[in-house]
Amino acid sequence: MATQTTSPNVRPATPLVRRGLWSSKRRREQFITFLSTTIVALGLIVILFPLVWMFSTSLKTRAEVAKFPPVWIPAIPQWDNYRMALTGENRFDIYFKNTMIYAGGAALGETLSCAMVAYGFARLRAPGKNALFVLVLATMMLPFWVTLIPQYIIFARLGWIDTYLPLLVPKFFGSAYLIFLLRQFYKTLPKDYEEAALIDGAGYFGIWWRIIVPLSLPAVGAVAIMSFMFHYQDFMGPLLYINSQYNYPVSIGLQQFRAPFGGTAFHLLMAASLVTLIPPMVLFFLAQRYFIQGIVVTGVKG
Amino acid sequence: MAVQTAQVPAQRKRKPALFGLIPAGKIERREALWFWIFISPWVIGFLAFTLYPIVMSAYYSMTVFNVASPPVWVGFDNYINLFNDRVYWKSLQVTGYYTLLSVPLGIFFGLMLAVLLNQRVPALGVFRTLYYLPALLGGSVAVALLFSWLLNPQFGAINLIIRTLVGPNGLIPLGITGPRWLQDPNWVIPSFTLMSLWGFGGTMLIYLSALQGVPTALYEAAEIDGANRIQQFFNVTVPMISPVILFTFITGVIGAMQQFTAAYVISGGMNLGAPAYSSMFYNLYLFLNAFRRYRMGLASAQAWILLVVILLLTLAMFWASRRYVHYESDEEGAI
């Protein structure tokens, strides 16, 4: 500052002032970044601790589970816990098969129906469309519990109790949230291809199947994964409709977990629980970009 | 599209039919027809699995109905019975307490984390992914079981850590052994809140994308005006993302009011609401009446009250927010 005022030849010395400010500002920014990173990293340890504890418990002996001071790392990892937890009275082989049928079927149904319905709402013009779309959004707010009892009674009359039909059939009629997500994505696609196809005499169905769906594969994939993930973890639906052990999905099987020798065997319970979390975790890490995009596109969490 | 509209006058003139639902031009009619074909799955699903059940639910709520025999009309008796049911009031109180505790805390932590991550933190993608992971798993039975183990009064990790730090023989011997969490009626709702907070990464993700959408020019302007970081946060960041905060608040309230899986799993499905009704969440009591006692009429009345409460709360939140929420543009972006 002093040098500037003494030499009148130099232009009003904003560059110098700015550099001075900038360098101290940059240092402050660096400090804030460092501090933020530290807090976030420490927070991450807290957030991930339950999963680590779960893994550690699953490898302990029964005695190690109930020890104080606590055993953080089991002396000899008891890998056999996993076999004990997943077999015997607990038929996790069957539960996993049922879950795959349920989650796979539901994901297929929801993806197909939502991809179709979303195209109608995103691209085709018809009187009353906007009012109908508001109705779609309104159903998102509707508590599941209001429709639950009459639905249960319909499905009971149809003789569908203890089958996956009451859980799978409604999925082929779309879901408001996923329709919304796909419609938002379709709206970002350029219209040129469709208009060209229309002039060439293509039908709307062909445009949807040959142009829109291939162009929106990332979004359609995200919808399929989200739907699979939701139904993989679904507890409420199977709790209402599935009664016999041979039809249990993983969620119910885990809730009904029986330790081989009675009592709550936390080491075995954690082993079984951890195994059920592996498929969603693997799927998430493989497809995390889609998840995060889905949330960012709609601003809604799944 | 312009090509088509130009063709319309050449065609035979028709008037819009059926209250304007069928448009005039031939091409418009074809497009509208295809619109209905494309959305037909949703329309059928809406009629069969939403509209009809809602109407029936309203009807059942006015009846005594145990599935086995046909419903018997009783008027508003179910609603009156609920009004006089102490467990019902308890379930409202439990749910209200949980909602008021977990939703604001979730928003607070979510926003704080998003702001921290937005400070040019390196490896942002890794942090974002790992923080989101619990939100992804949060609704599962496995996580409910994990927390019932973490919060075990004797051997759960949380009390073990408390005892190691401040227990009778701990690092700082204060003789604190930690609460009995899920076994102490006073600590049950804080325990459930802790479990829900574990999933705050979902809210964080929404805020993070909102923060990245705030124009940097606004911060530069605020800085020139001499605003410090805290002032910038309250005068730029919060107003700019206030619609998102409102949105997460509303979805958070609706979600918290429908808590079920964790409450059911933690009670083992046996003693629903234990201990001393302190975990008798609204929907747990609804489930108990409907599927354990087969009082479908009473449970339908509970469901309808929930619907009305959620509707009124949502409207109230929108109404209350009119003064505080700042909308940048009136674009279609709202939907």
Per-residue pLDDT tens over the stretch A48-95: 999 999 999 999 998 898 887 888 899 899 999 999 999 888 899 999
CA distance A54 to A66: 14
By Cβ distance, the residue of A43, A151, A285 closest to B53 is A151
ipTM of the complex: 0.86
Q: How far is B310 from chain A (nearest CA, A)?
A: 8
Q: Identify from B3, B63, B136, B292 which residue to disrupt to test chain A contact, counting A C-beta atoms within 10 A and taking the largest count.
A: B136
Q: Which CATH class is domain A90-298?
A: mainly alpha
Q: Which residues contact B46 (CB under 8 A, 6 or more apart)?
A: A135, A139, A173
Q: Please give the span between the terminal C-alpha atoms of chain A, in angstroms, as a whole number.
A: 56
CA distance A207 to B31: 13
Segments making up each domain of chain B, as ranges? 78-326
The structure tokens listed for A148 are 């639950």
Question: How many other C-beta atoms lie within 10 A of the C-beta of residue B174?
Answer: 12
Segments making up each domain of chain A, as ranges? 2-58, 90-298
Q: Which amino acid is at A6?
A: T
Indicate the length of chain A as a whole number: 302
Q: Which helix (H) or strand (E) holds B72?
A: strand B72-73
CA distance A176 to A147: 15
Q: Identify from A64, A139, A301 which residue to disrupt to test chain B contact, counting B C-beta atoms within 10 A and taking the largest count.
A: A301
Tally: H helices and E strands in chain A: 16, 0
Nearest to B135 by CA among A230, A222, A179, A235: A230
Q: How far is B186 from chain A (nearest CA, A)?
A: 23
Q: Average pLDDT, stretch A159-182?
A: 95
Query: B78-326: which CATH topology?
Result: MetI-like fold (1.10.3720)
Q: What is the pLDDT of residue B322?
A: 80
Per-residue pLDDT tens over the stretch A202-250: 889 999 999 999 988 888 988 999 899 999 999 999 999 999 999 999 9
Contacts of the segment B286-291: beta carbons below 8 A, 24+ positions apart:
B286/A145, B287/B260, B290/A148, B290/A149, B290/A152, B291/A240
By Cβ distance, the residue of A47, A266, A277 closest to B140 is A277
CA distance A224 to A290: 10
Nearest to A100 by CA among A207, A271, A232: A232
Residue of B167 and B262 predicted with greater confidence: B262
**Is the CB of A65 less than 8 angstroms away from the CB of B155?**
yes
Q: What is the pLDDT of residue B22?
A: 78
Q: Does A115 touch chain B (CB under 8 A)?
A: no
Residue with tokens 């500037």: A4
CA distance B279 to B17: 56
Q: What is the pLDDT of residue B13?
A: 55
